[in-house]
Amino acid sequence: MKILVSAGNIKTAKSYPYWEKFFELAKGHEIKKIEGILPFSEIVKMVNECDIWISIDSFLPHLCAYHKLKRGVVLWSKSDPLIFGYEHNINLLKSREYLRPDTYGTWSDTVCDKNAFVSPQVLLQEIEKGV
Of 11 and 17, the structure prediction assigns the larger pLDDT to: 17
Encode pLDDT of 22-67 as tens digits.
Answer: 999 999 999 999 998 899 999 999 999 999 999 999 999 999 999 9
CATH class of 2-130: alpha beta
Asked if residue 71 has pLDDT above 90, the reply is yes
Which residues, in sequence order, are CB contacts of 6 under 8 Å at separation 6+? 33, 34, 53, 54, 55, 56, 58, 60
The CA distances from residue 85 to 2, 30, 49, 55, 82, in Å, are: 23, 26, 23, 12, 6
pTM exceeding 0.85 = yes
Of 109 and 94, the structure prediction assigns the larger pLDDT to: 94
Asked if residue 14 has pLDDT above 80, the reply is yes
Mean pLDDT of 4-14: 85
Encode pLDDT of 78-91 as tens digits.
Answer: 999 999 999 999 99
Task: Give the rounded percent of residues in the chain with a pLDDT score beyond 90.
Answer: 79
Asked if residue 2 has pLDDT above 70, the reply is yes
Which residue in 95, 59, 61 sits closest to 78, CA to CA?
95
